[in-house]
Amino acid sequence: MKGNSMLAKGRFLPLFVWVAGLLIVWEALSWVLLNVVHTPLAQSKLPYVHELVATLFQYAGTLLKEGAATFGNAAIGFLLGAAAGVLLAVLMSVSKTIEQLTFPYAVASQMIPILGLAPIIYGIVRDEQISRIIISGYITFFPVSLNMLRGLRSVNLSALELMHSYAAKPWAVYWKLRLPAALPGLFSGLKIAAPLAVTGAILVELMGAQHGIGVIMLRNLYYGPSHTYMFWSTILVGAFLGMASYGLMSLIERLVAPWQPEFRPKGGSR
């Protein structure tokens, strides 16, 4: 226990130093802009950190409520998009014809800018919740399917030949060999897509939704300098939601696929 505690301190100490240094530099630059350079609207461009922290505590209830609305809808869209991505990856790995028929369109779908697609979806659906779910799922779908397909095809050929020599059924090959081999690739896609799903949900909220962290962000942007700290607070909450979604995926990966080299003690031995 003592060794683990020391290890944890050693891992988190550099992060703590970086974060503390960044906050000190931020606070100093904010003071310079306001009192030395006399930049117009200095607090709108780089507000004081301590004032931001005070605003976060003062409006914690509102930020938590609206942040939960954003995170909940992004999570639903993320799960649906991930399920669709996994299903398509499995189908493409089974059939070359399905891959040739679907993969080019999946790639082409990613050429559509989300900034242009979000208002179109919102205009068609006219429901903020469904729109957020659709956009979050759309963003999640492609990175998950691409990384999952790569993982399914990363199986060691000797292991595959061994399964075939035992006359293993196709479902057994997938369940016992291909799917476990694909888990690292799957989680790579999930970790990429999770913060993007939150961003997609916030983007839809900027189009005129009633609830969500993006709604507060837009309203406080309209109010101008008098609501600078609240506007920056919504940005920090949005960033926190993205980081939390990435951290959650990393935690689940550690629990589901603990055999990966980066999770082993001393970087290699089991």
For the chain, give the mean pLDDT: 87
Q: Which tens digit of pLDDT belongs to each residue from 81-99? A: 999 999 999 999 988 898 8
SS3 for 207-240 is CCCCCCHHHHHHHHHHHHHHHHHHHHHHHHHHHH
pLDDT of residue 191: 94
pLDDT reading at 270 higher than 50: no
Round to the nearest angstrom and report the end-to-end CA distance of the chain: 19
Percent of the chain with pLDDT over 90: 46
Q: Do residues 131 and 125 lie in contact, with contact meaning Cβ atoms separated by under 8 Å?
A: yes
Answer for the pair 90, 151: CB distance below 8 angstroms, yes or no.
Answer: no
Quick one: CA dihedral 190, 196, 198, 204, positive or negative? negative
C-beta separation of 46 from 36 below 8 A: no
CA 38 to chain centre: 38
Q: What is the pLDDT of residues 190-237, one digit of tens each?
A: 999 999 999 999 988 888 788 889 999 988 888 777 788 999 999 999
pLDDT top residue among 58 and 164: 58
Confidence of residue 266 (pLDDT cuts 50, 70, 90): low
pLDDT score of 122: 83
The tokens describing 126, both together, are: 């006219």
Q: Give the residue-averaged pLDDT of 132-143.
A: 92
* Mean pLDDT for the stretch of residues 60-73: 93
- Structural domains in the chain, CATH included, are 46-259 (1.10.3720.10)
